[in-house]
């Protein structure tokens, strides 16, 4: 219990180890995209296009990330989160680029007093890791050195995947983006490692409140057997099942704007699991900070302007408004 931030400790309830939420046998509702055949198979490309338009989310298979790397990431993340709350705070000093957050979205400062407008607590703790600065991360703990090496390898894999997916989307949308690298800049890539406590009381709240991502793309590695992620589809919440050796890709607000609203930034949330804590690792990539995004649906804006508006709204009214703030008046 001491490993959790104080604000989250009352959320956790222990259960017998053999009492685990089992994966249900019903068919998985998500579109499944095979990355290896995406650029050569017209039927797969058509399925990909439909997923981007109508789901904003899909399951990725044959993605080329070694299964051993996915497993090692989860194991190392568990070790990191098992450290005491105070130790985790100390790891992320001002000298290190990695930040530690809890109780609020990663875009909001943690450990500060919540305004009256934002009393909702997200039952989550996590680390925000900018990949381009990860080599600067210093620690005396040997397990963190090995975790840093794993994160660097994983970041390279996910950057490759994100670039491939974005190039296919640009081609399908017939966009003339010059230069296209400014819309999805490799140096903006970051990883967020999340831990959600288990809790049998559904009245406690959500692990992560209902939201859309601000990114171009987000790519998620879920822990096996522990569900929690839900997506809103046709006014219904659907559980995104954790399935071994698959990744979950969702489109963010920046991709919706770049596509002129042809593609969808998916609305999602995280519910707490009844019996087991949940750990997930998500990769996010964004446009260059000052690159202007133009769309017939929105007034021109940069990602830095968008992020500042999200932070302001979260602080003053308690939630993210997002793209509607930039719609033409």
278 is catalytic: yes
Q: What is the torsion angle, in degrees rounded to the nearest 10, for the CA atoms of residue 19, residue 24, residue 30 and residue 35?
A: 80
Catalytic option among 278, 299, 307, 325: 278
Count of Cβ atoms closer than 10 Å to residue 188 Cβ: 18
In the DSSP assignment, the letter for residue 61 is E
Please give the sequence-ordered ranges of beta strands (E in DSSP) within the chain, or none if there are none: 32-34, 57-61, 99-102, 125-130, 190-196, 208-211, 217-222, 229-233, 236-239, 247-251, 268-270, 278-285, 292-293, 301-302
CB 228 within 8 A of CB 196: yes
| 233 CB-near residues (< 8 Å, 6+ apart) | 29, 55
CB 89 within 8 A of CB 100: yes
CB 76 within 8 A of CB 191: no
Which residues are tagged catalytic?
A: 278
């Amino acid at each position: 219990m001491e490993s959790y931030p104080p604000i989250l400790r009352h959320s956790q309830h222990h259960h017998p180890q053999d009492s685990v939420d089992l994966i249900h046998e019903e068919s998985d509702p998500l579109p499944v995209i095979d990355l290896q055949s995406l650029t050569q198979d017209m039927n797969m490309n058509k399925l990909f296009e439909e997923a981007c338009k109508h789901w904003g989310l899909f399951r990725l298979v044959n993605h080329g990330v070694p299964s051993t790397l996915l497993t090692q990431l989860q194991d190392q993340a568990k070790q990191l989160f098992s450290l005491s709350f105070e130790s985790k705070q100390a790891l992320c000093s001002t000298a290190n680029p990695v930040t530690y957050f809890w109780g609020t979205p990663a875009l909001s400062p943690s450990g500060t007093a919540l305004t009256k407008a934002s009393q909702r607590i997200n039952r989550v703790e996590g680390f925000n890791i900018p990949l381009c600065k990860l080599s600067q991360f210093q620690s005396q703990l040997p397990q963190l050195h090995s975790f840093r090496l794993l994160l660097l390898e994983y970041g390279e894999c996910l950057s490759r995947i994100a670039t491939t997916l974005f190039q296919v989307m640009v081609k399908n949308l017939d966009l003339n983006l010059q230069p296209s690298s400014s819309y999805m800049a490799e140096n903006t890539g970051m990883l967020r490692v999340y831990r959600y406590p288990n809790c049998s009381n559904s009245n406690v709240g959500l692990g992560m409140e209902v939201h859309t991502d601000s990114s171009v793309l987000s790519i998620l590695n879920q822990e096996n057997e522990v569900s929690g992620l839900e997506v809103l589809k046709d006014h219904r919440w659907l559980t995104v099942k954790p399935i071994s050796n698959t990744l979950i890709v969702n489109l963010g607000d920046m991709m919706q704007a770049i596509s002129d609203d042809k593609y969808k930034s998916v609305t999602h949330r995280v519910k707490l699991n009844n019996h087991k804590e949940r750990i997930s690792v998500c990769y996010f990539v964004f446009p260059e900070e000052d690159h202007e995004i133009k769309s017939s649906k929105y007034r021109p804006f940069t990602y830095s302007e968008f992020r500042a508006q999200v932070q302001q709204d979260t602080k003053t009214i308690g939630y993210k408004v997002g793209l509607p703030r930039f719609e033409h008046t």
